[in-house]
Amino acid sequence: MQKGIHPPYGPVVFKDQSTGTMFLTRSTLVSKADKLPKIEWEDDNTYPLYTVDVTSYSHPFYTGKSVVLDTAGQVQKFNNRYGRKDK
């Protein structure tokens, strides 16, 4: 790795906006730490807090809770389009 061309990489707390779940990980967002709010973590250290819309705690792929909006209408459209008749 070349020196001086990469952004700083350090600990940041991410907060899932929909579930409120927080986790500590490392990120290059530490370079914007002066603009982010701070939070005291379980280890009594203060870290920058970054709020995100979706994480693995709220994403349907990871939680297994998928939302189906209009399956009946979509199936009916498919059947009408391709000529399949209900028996």
* pLDDT for res 46: 95
Q: Is a pLDDT exceeding 90 seen at residue 11?
A: yes
Confidence (pTM): 0.63
Extended strands (E) in the chain:
10-16, 22-27, 38-40, 46-52
Per-residue model confidence as pLDDT tens digits over 28-83: 998 888 899 999 999 999 999 999 888 877 776 655 665 555 556 777 777 778 87
More confident residue, 67 or 10: 10
Q: Of 54, 45, 60, which is closest to residue 19 (Cα–Cα)?
A: 54
Q: Whose structure tokens read 């379980």? A: 42
**Structural domain boundaries in the chain:** 10-82
